Amino acid sequence: MPDDAMEPAPQAPAPVRHHETVVTGPMEHDITDGGPDMVQFVDGDGNRLPTSPANEAYAKIVEDLTPEDGRSMYRDLVLVRRIDAEGHALQRQGELGLWPSLLGQEAAQVGAGRAMRRQDYAFPGYREHGVAWCRDVPPENLLGMFRGVNHGGWDSNANNFHLYTIVIGNQMLHATGYAMGIQRDGDVGTGDPDRDAAVMAFTGDGGTAQGDFNEALVFAGVANAPLVFFVQNNQWAISEPNYKQFRIPPYQRARGFGFPGVRVDGNDVLAVYAVTKAALDAARAGQGPTLIEAFTYRMGAHTTSDDPTKYRIAAEVDIWREKDPITRMRGFLASKGYADEAFFDAVDKEADELAARIRKACQEMPNPPKPAMFDNVYVDPHPVVEREKAEFIAYQASFEGGK
């Protein structure tokens, strides 16, 4: 080729589509409708919904439940709501420092809690009073924690229910580490129903924005850990709505981490039970993690220090009131002839007795010695903590009367 010959002009590269937007705009989310992917079995009036592409995979689990199972779940829903109501009332009367209500989320927690086996382990946030009930944690212990008379409230290993975690999202990593430990102990995929175990990690929609949450999903996915992430999407992270937290629903994010995600009607206890049971069975069998998004609503305030009338409208609350989980389950039991008025009255009476019991127990809890706050910080004595305890005792003794 002559030196002065011109080289052929390079071909223009084919356009590359680096990104294609597939998500809706931030203001297009409908927080009252979970969409066609959501698993449901009972409508707002308690009517059994027909089999659909969304619920078909879980229908057998619901069909295998007995009338007694349904009555037991209804009882749990009513008693858990009554515990929550007492906690709220006790805080308002100055008996507790704080109370985070679960009002409206009873079905999500009872359905998930009832799907767990004895050897499974739960890692809650701080609102999982219904899961605690299902794990046989005495409700008095929950009240003791929020009254500030103990270091956490219960022995985690007695009920395989970890202590409440106040720091949002921390429990996701704790659960992942525990699940990987179960895996390495060989307690997964043996086929022994009394040995194979799984872990459940609970958080809210706000928790999905935390770094800990996303890191936990990375580790769980890569390790194929026996873990079920249970996100209660109650639509509000304190005063932040969903559209300020994520662009796609939490259940769709699981695919990016390499495992399945399912959205379930969080106010339908039968649907929650079925979806959670399937996910836990898969985890115990060695099939790895699942993310469940329970689509629900926080009917009350974030905690007793919050006023939701400042950031949400009453019409929104009214729409969700029509989806009340207890009304739905009661309608289902009545329509099937599984329960009568005598049964419902007996449950209400039991709820009254439970409320009176835990109220009395809370009010009679003794205040611990003040230096006790330094105890059990470490397993072994720690010189810094011991010095701080001595200084605190000396400071208290400097007041008139030594108190």
Summarize pLDDT for 206-231 with one digit per residue, the tens: 999 999 999 999 999 999 999 999 99
pLDDT category, 2, cuts 50, 70, 90?
A: very low
Q: How far apart are CA 226 and CA 159, in angstroms?
A: 19
The secondary structure element, H or E, covering residue 123 is strand 121-123
Per-residue pLDDT averaged across 311-326, rounded?
93
User: pLDDT tens, 264-293?
Assistant: 999 999 999 999 999 999 999 999 999 999
Between 371 and 217, residue with greater pLDDT: 217
Catalytic residue selected from 81, 298, 328, 330: 298
Q: Is 302 a catalytic residue?
A: yes
**186 Rama sector, left if φ>0, alpha if ψ -120 to 50, beta otherwise:** left
pLDDT at 29: 64
pLDDT at 1: 46
pLDDT at 235: 94
Neighbouring residues of 247: CB distance < 8 A, sequence distance ≥ 6: 23, 26
pLDDT at 17: 60
Phi, psi of 237 (to 5 degrees): -100, 90
Catalytic residue selected from 81, 302, 328, 330: 302
pLDDT at 400: 76
Q: How far apart are CA 2 and CA 9, in angstroms?
A: 16
The closest of 226, 289, 235, 234 to 262, measured between CA atoms, is: 289
User: pLDDT tens, 7-47?
Assistant: 555 565 565 566 665 555 555 567 888 999 999 999 999 99
Q: How far apart are CA 215 and CA 257, in angstroms?
A: 10
pLDDT category, 244, cuts 50, 70, 90?
A: confident
> Three-state SS string across 29-93, please?
CCCCCCCCCCECCECCCCCECCCCCCCHHHHHHHHCCCHHHHHHHHHHHHHHHHHHHHHHHHHHC
Contact present, 263 and 38 (Cβ < 8 Å): yes
DSSP state of 288: -
Between 55 and 375, residue with greater pLDDT: 55
Distances (CA, A) of 39 to 49, 69, 139, 265, 289: 10, 20, 30, 6, 19
307 pLDDT exceeds 80? yes
58 pLDDT exceeds 90? yes
pLDDT category, 78, cuts 50, 70, 90?
A: very high
Least trusted range by pLDDT, from 96-105, 127-136, 281-290, 371-380: 371-380
401 pLDDT exceeds 80? no
Q: Is 298 a catalytic residue?
A: yes
Within 13 Å and on the Cβ side, how many CA atoms surround 25? 2
395 pLDDT exceeds 90? yes
Contact present, 208 and 253 (Cβ < 8 Å): yes
385 pLDDT exceeds 50? yes
- CA–centroid distance for 274 within its chain: 16
- CA–centroid distance for 103 within its chain: 13
The closest of 172, 311, 334, 189 to 250, measured between CA atoms, is: 172
pLDDT category, 89, cuts 50, 70, 90?
A: very high
**pLDDT, mean over the chain:** 92
- CA–centroid distance for 107 within its chain: 11
pLDDT category, 376, cuts 50, 70, 90?
A: confident
Torsion sign over Cα 307, 309, 310, 313: positive
For the chain, the farthest-separated pair of C-alpha atoms sits apart, in whole angstroms, at 107
Q: How far apart are CA 243 and CA 233, in angstroms?
A: 12
User: Strand pairing of 236-237 and 240-241?
Assistant: antiparallel
Q: How far apart are CA 174 and CA 283, in angstroms?
A: 17
Q: How far apart are CA 270 and CA 39, in angstroms?
A: 10
> What single-letter amino acid sits at 174?
H
Catalytic residue selected from 311, 321, 382, 387: 311
